[in-house]
Amino acid sequence: MKNHKACIIGAGSSGITTARMLQKNNIPFDWYEMSDNIGGNWYYKNPNGMSSCYQSLHIDTSKTVLQFDEFPLPEDAPDYLHHSDIYTYLNQYVDFCGLRERITFNAEVVVAELTEEKIWRVELGDEENHYYDMLFVCNGHHWSPRWPSPAFSGSFDGIEMHSHDYLTPFEPHDMRDKNVVVVGVGNSAMDIASELSQRSIAKNLWVSTRRGVYIFPKYILGKPADKFTALSPGWLPGPIQRFLMDVSAPLTVGKMEKFGLPKPDFRPSQCHATVSGEFLLRAGGGDVKIKPTIKSFEGDHVHFVDDSVEKVDLVIYATGYNVEFPFLDKALVNVEDNQLPLFKRIFIPEYPNLFIIGLAQVLPALMPFPREQLKLVEAYLQGCYTLPSVDEMHRITLRDQKRYTGHFYKAARHTMQVDSIKYAYEMKKELKEGYKRAQQNAFADPFPAIAEIFESSGDAVKEVLERVSE
């Protein structure tokens, strides 16, 4: 095989899905994980410090949209899995696929750079170098906490922490009988505020938000809410899809002002959905109190922009995460305002042997998203899909970015928004177009060095032809 290989960075759900695709295609690969086990974000108390799991966390999307087709969840699995269930499931899947022995654990990639020969040099923490034809980056995007910028003025004598470090009402700080402010109204903020606001825990719990929010239930008519989302076909034009959501959502969620929240200054379709089955109950019952954004700190007092002042012991910032690739040169992968333009959320056009997998804010669920990405990557590696020109990829990326995020209000959480159902539909169309380009290119392999892996392109071409004909 002349030692031509792919490299995978990260053994979370995206890395696992990537490894399975390469395994099925007999493409040799090395797989590096900086922790001592797989699971990434779903590894509670992950020793690498990069998991954002808290003990009570349940996923906000139902089991039907996240399981692997070849390894279904048990029929008696709950609709909304606890993080420990997902962690166990991912470990079982890795063992089912025989992938565990392929992983090098406790191996941190400190540098990944493209050489003049367009080969990836990957340097590990032990300063050992390895060289690869392809690099798959699966390092996730929920591990580098984003703090309010600029920081609030004044000095706070209490404890400030990010939701990334929250574990339980007692870890890393004992929050019983404390006055707590949670900043933000995303999914983590909803979960943490709901948990801490129980009368047996916090003395007072305030949620600070600078704008309104629509909070969607986990169940509608006794069924997981995302089952109704799945009814929207991928071919449905975006404006119609958004109109239907804007009409139906108020009937589902009601008026947020009745729960003390500010009236949203945007439509339901203009934001990433916040999902909670408990928060509105807590707010309606008076356990959660709503405040506007923080204006300043003064000792153990927090001043809000409505001129109210509260004595506070602890502030939790549930303000999201930064997108970072610490091992990649910023001249190569430049993230600005938490945005990295990618062709089909996979490719940087100038570097066709670099694959960014799982980097998206996906509705209804992230875990199935890499599988759709890798269908195209698989065809690409087989020579059955050819990329457009670099200029064309940039043009399509701008168009896609506008289509997926142009209707959202401006916020860091909306720079990578993707509708997974529409994405899957459009990827089939792109696969067809790329197949036509590959035909014109006589199905030339993008990486001649690994072409010998495929005994014959005939079967691969036939399989992709059947796929694009669906």
Is it the case that residue 458 has pLDDT exceeding 50? no
Please enumerate, as own/partner, the contacts of 60-63 that have beta carbons within 8 Å and a separation of 24 or more.
60/187, 60/218, 60/275, 61/224, 61/226, 61/364, 61/365, 62/224, 62/226, 62/227
Determine what percent of the chain is predicted with pLDDT higher than 70: 93
What would the pLDDT profile of 300-333 be if each residue is shown by its tens digit? 999 999 999 999 999 999 999 999 999 999 888 9
Q: Which CATH number fits domain 147-319: 3.40.50.1000, 3.30.450.20, 2.60.40.1220, 3.50.50.60?
A: 3.50.50.60
Determine contact, residues 357/17, Cβ cutoff 8 Å: yes
Residue 450 banded pLDDT, cuts 50, 70, 90: low
At 230, the pLDDT band (50, 70, 90 cuts) reads low
- Asked if residue 233 has pLDDT above 60, the reply is yes
φ, ψ for residue 351 (rounded to 5)? -130, 80
Residue 457: pLDDT over 60: no
Q: Is pTM, for the whole model, over 0.85?
A: yes
Cβ-based neighbour number of residue 452 at 10 Å: 11
Q: How far apart are CA 189 and CA 80, in angstroms?
A: 18
Sheet holding 6-9, edge to edge: 103-104, 29-32, 6-9, 134-137, 354-356
Q: Which CATH architecture has domain 6-144+322-468?
A: 3-Layer(bba) Sandwich (3.50)
What is the rounded CA–CA span in Å between residue 228 and residue 237? Answer: 17
Q: Is 170 exposed, middle or buried (0-12, 13-18, 19+ CB in 10 A)?
A: exposed
> If you average pLDDT over every residue of the chain, what do you get?
90
Query: Both tokens of residue 455?
Result: 């005994």
Task: Express as a percent the part of the chain with pLDDT over 90.
Answer: 67
43 contacts: CB under 8 Å, gap ≥ 6: 35, 37, 51, 53, 87
Q: Which amino acid is at 450?
A: I
Residue 245 CB partners (closer than 8 Å, separation 6+): 268, 269
Residue 68 phi, psi dihedral angles, 5° rounding? -80, 135
Do the two domains 6-144+322-468 and 147-319 of this chain adopt the same fold?
yes
pLDDT tens-digit readout, 412-429: 777 888 888 889 999 999
For the chain, the domains span 6-144+322-468, 147-319
351-407 pLDDT tens trace: 999 999 999 888 777 788 899 999 999 999 988 999 999 999 999 999 998 888 877
